[in-house]
Amino acid sequence: MTTRRAFVRHTVAGGALLGLRPSALEALGDHPVTDAAPAVDYYAKLGVPKIINAAGTYTYLTASVMPAAVQAAVAMAANHPVRLRDLQSAAGAYIAQRLHCESALISSGAAAALSLGTAGCLTVGNPDASKDVPARAGTLKNEVILQHGHRFPHDHALEMCGTKLIEVETLAEYEQAFTPRTGMAFFFNAAEIGQISHEDWIRVAHAHSVPCFIDAAADVPPIANLWNYTQMGFDLVTFSGGKGIRGPQNAGLLLGRTDLIAAAAANDNPNDRSVGRGMKVAKEQIIGMVAALDWLLEQTDEGIESEARHRTDRIVAAIRDLPSLTTEILIPPVANHVPHLMIRYDQQRIGITPTDVAIALRQGTPSIEVNPGTGQPSGASGLHSDANTIVIGPWMMQPGEDAIVGRRLHEVLSGAVRTHS
């Protein structure tokens, strides 16, 4: 421990890296704080390659990088213990006010919010029932209705609360599916299949007094989606904190009705007898999530889109002299709703498959990850690629990395050009 003055002296250089002025460090408060040690590059120490993320907000690539202001807020939070319940409730109230909804809870990610929201629907009005999730969920209203086309890998987060998923396809089937055991109606916003609209989904569920929960995890931008779905009438909405919001990767949002958010919180840590006990969100991530929302609400959809377009423009400029090559900008309709670059060419002229281009970029220095839709017959999340497409997701790159991606793409593709047939 050291004094504030010594802390300020020791951390002016670090603060400058984060864009803080010394006066901002002075404002951290009068408490003694832990001495700031010089940062060790633990990635280098562990031998873990740093990558250029030309893919997007994928969990297996550590999703987004937090903006400098968010990183600074996380670092500040790390210096001070607080009461976790005080922090969760103050952060929730602040977020609810900024996102125009009744209540909010910060979870350890959208997947955790799916579980907490589900557990909340099963136990609403009966906090003591939290101890029964999932082992005795059969004693609760544990049926969850969803459209067949809305089944997706993350519905495991609903099932881990001991629910039974009831699939429907038509509106008539949906209306028939409600029983005294129905606890929740679930909607996957980015689903590409499903004939029942958002409005009908809400209307029918509410006619049976059943809460509706929508997963919109990857559906920012547009920024207004942060309030569009609660205002549409969904009782619970989740977003991932570490995707387009650019908060900590292990943070997420559960937004919605006050009684359901309170019930979700009763199923969350720090309560030991709860399904969410292992879904802890530390003070650093809670503050990081709040700071990321403050950051995002200062951005514009146009600004986010035009930055992505500038990056794709620079990559296209670097490779456009290659024979037979064509490019297209594609904006997926719901999830990852930002410009993506689709690169195609005649493999008779450039003799390498997109999959092998992805491998060459991964094995190069620096190591580059392109979008996993590359070379796939049907790319994920509205990115309809094919076996002959390289897909670049530009929005999670750091400034200047587009030039490196353009140069490496040119090296790999030009190295495979067939000079005569």
Ligand X SMILES: *Cc1c(COP(=O)(O)O)cnc(C)c1O
Cβ-based nearer residue to ligand X, 15 or 244: 244
Cβ-based nearer residue to ligand X, 7 or 234: 234
DSSP state of 171: H
- For CA atoms 318, 58, 387, 52, the dihedral sign is positive
Minimum CB separation from ligand X for residue 353, in Å? 28
In the complex, residue closest to ligand X by CB: 109
Cβ-based nearer residue to ligand X, 59 or 179: 59
Residue in the structure block whose two tokens are 């609810």: 96
State which of residues 111, 133, 261, 350 lies at the interface with ligand X (CB under 6 A): 111
d(CA 348, CA 199): 49
* Residue 70 tokens, joined: 């968010």
Minimum CB separation from ligand X for residue 126, in Å? 27
Stretch that binds ligand X, among 76-84, 108-116, 359-367, 385-393 (CB under 6 A): 108-116
- Per the CB < 8 A criterion, the answer to whether 187 and 215 are in contact is yes
d(CA 86, CA 127): 19
How far is C-alpha 166 from the geometric centre of its chain's CA atoms?
A: 27
Cβ-based nearer residue to ligand X, 8 or 391: 391
Residue in the structure block whose two tokens are 């910060």: 106
- Per the CB < 8 A criterion, the answer to whether 266 and 274 are in contact is yes
Minimum CB separation from ligand X for residue 10, in Å? 35
State which of residues 98, 131, 151, 154 lies at the interface with ligand X (CB under 6 A): 154
Cβ-based nearer residue to ligand X, 59 or 197: 59
Residue in the structure block whose two tokens are 């991932």: 240
Calculate ∠ Cα 310-312-314, nearest 5°: 70
Site string for ligand X, 199-228 (x = CB under 6 A): ----------------x-xx----------
Minimum CB separation from ligand X for residue 218, in Å? 4
State which of residues 109, 162, 375, 394 lies at the interface with ligand X (CB under 6 A): 109
Site string for ligand X, 243-282 (x = CB under 6 A): ---------x------------------------------
Minimum CB separation from ligand X for residue 189, in Å? 7
Cβ-based nearer residue to ligand X, 191 or 316: 191
d(CA 55, CA 158): 28
State which of residues 110, 210, 255, 291 lies at the interface with ligand X (CB under 6 A): 110
Farthest CA pair distance, the chain: 76
What distances in angstroms separate CA 360 from CA 53, 89, 246, 365, 411, one per listed residue? 15, 48, 28, 10, 10
* Residue 60 tokens, joined: 């297996």
Number of Cβ within 10 Å of residue 90's Cβ equals 14
What values do phi and psi take at 82, rounded to 5? -140, 180
Minimum CB separation from ligand X for residue 217, in Å? 3
Asked if residue 59 binds ligand X (CB under 6 A), the reply is yes
Q: Which of residues 298-357 bind ligand X (CB under 6 A)?
A: 335
Minimum CB separation from ligand X for residue 240, in Å? 3
Minimum CB separation from ligand X for residue 349, in Å? 37
Contacts of 421 (CB under 8 A, 6+ apart): 348
Residue in the structure block whose two tokens are 């562990």: 46
Cβ-based nearer residue to ligand X, 134 or 247: 247
What residues make contact with ligand X under the rule CB under 6 A?
59, 109-111, 154, 190, 215, 217-218, 240, 242, 252, 335
